[in-house]
Amino acid sequence: MDPSNLTTGIPEVQQDIPYLRYVLVTVFFLPCAILIFVENTFVLLAYKRDKRIRRNTTNAYILNLAVADILVSVVMAIYVPVYLTGTWKFGGAFCVVMWVLDYTATDMSVMTIVAISVDRYLMVHNSLRHLSRQSHKKVAIICSILWMTCLSSRSTLAFTYSSRTGFLHDENRIGVCDIGYGKNLVVLIIMFLIEFLVPAICVFVLNLTVYFRLKRRTNRLQTRQGRYHLPSAVSLDDRASQTTSCENDDMRIHRSASGSQHQKAARFLALLLSVFVLCWLPFYINECYTYFRFSGVRNEALTHLVSFVLWLNSAINPFLYAFTNVFFKENFKQFLRCKGR
């Protein structure tokens, strides 16, 4: 092969790669970051301006979820120059900080989803007791503990690991902002368990339990209706759920005395789990495949793609949580029409 063709061919390939990056970033990545920021900002504004939303303590978890997802959009925006140029130009220390923020934001998003599922379970298990014990202060304490736990654990892991592996003195690794979690099997397994497998199992078990409880409740109600030939016979727990729904109007989970709407809500929560798995599973499949097949040497394009899919979960969350609430939707429509209240 003619050497002159090789030398002339290299610049052409190098020019194609930046062009492809520009297209992907401008068409997909950056618009997604903006969408995540706008959607979740709407959630924050709606919570602040509408007393009906603030009256329901469960919506405080949705507020916390929106804060975590906004942080995800900020991290994505900071990564834009890396995706455009293929290099990290902000130094090793700031790279470690970005890893901390990135993983803290995604961890908090996952932990909040688990907290919302726990709240649903407690509401269905015993509505009156849950309402009497739940408060905004308690939710704020729970969310604060989650934030401090995620931030402290991620900071400890990132700075300790980068120090032990000499990341801050390795210009090549700093140039691509790769701390190297994927090259350590113990770290990879711990992250897989804490970030994905355990939360997924918890959400699945809680939602499945909610579904069967509501199904049994509906069966009991139908039995009573058939026995007494009444158009509607409502148990104490169902009355509590019906009364609660008038105040909370929360994701259609407490609106029907018969329990049929509860079952629809339980099936809807199963959709949340499906979305979570589809967004997170490709990331860990790629991490495991890279470790066992290529000894931790990453395919940067594939890594960016699965990371983008993972972050996409933060764009879907507002549709799954806040946008299903009638009070949130009213505020969102007013925001889009630029109408004040």
pTM of the full predicted structure? Answer: 0.79
- With bands split at pLDDT 50, 70 and 90, how would you rate the model's confidence at 7? very low
Q: Please state the φ and ψ torsions of residue 101, each to the nearest 5 degrees.
A: -65, -40
**Which one-letter amino acid corresponds to residue 72?**
V
H/E/C letters for each residue in the chain?
CCHHHHHHHHHHHHHHHHHHHHHHHHHHHHHHHHHHHHHHHHHHHHHHHCHHHHHCCHHHHHHHHHHHHHHHHHHHHHHHHHHHHCCCCCCHHHHHHHHHHHHHHHHHHHHHHHHHHHHHHHHHHCHHHHHHHCCHHHHHHHHHHHHHHHHHHHHHHHHHHHHHCCHHHCHHHHHHCCCCHHHCHHHHHHHHHHHHHHHHHHHHHHHHHHHHHHHHHHHHHHHHHHHHCCCCCCCHHHHHHHHHHHHHCCCCCCCCCCCHHHHHHHHHHHHHHHHHHHHHHHHHHHHHHHHHHHCCCCCHHHHHHHHHHHHHHHHHHHHHCHHHCHHHHHHHHHHHCCCCC
**Closest Cα partner for 69 from 104, 95, 96?**
104
* CA pair distance 230, 262, nearest whole angstrom: 21
Domain range summary for the chain, segments of one domain joined by +: 14-336
pLDDT tens digits, 14-39:
444 567 778 878 888 899 999 999 99
Cβ(138)–Cβ(60) under 8 Å? no
pLDDT at 250 (0 to 100)? 42
Query: CATH assignment of 14-336?
Result: 1.20.1070.10
If you average pLDDT over residues 299-327, what whole number do you get?
84
pLDDT digits (tens, 9 = 90+) for 30-87: 999 999 999 999 999 999 999 999 988 889 999 999 999 999 999 999 988 888 887 8
Q: Is 208 exposed, middle or buried (0-12, 13-18, 19+ CB in 10 A)?
A: middle
pLDDT at 13 over 60: no
Which is it for the CA torsion 169, 172, 177, 179, positive or negative?
negative
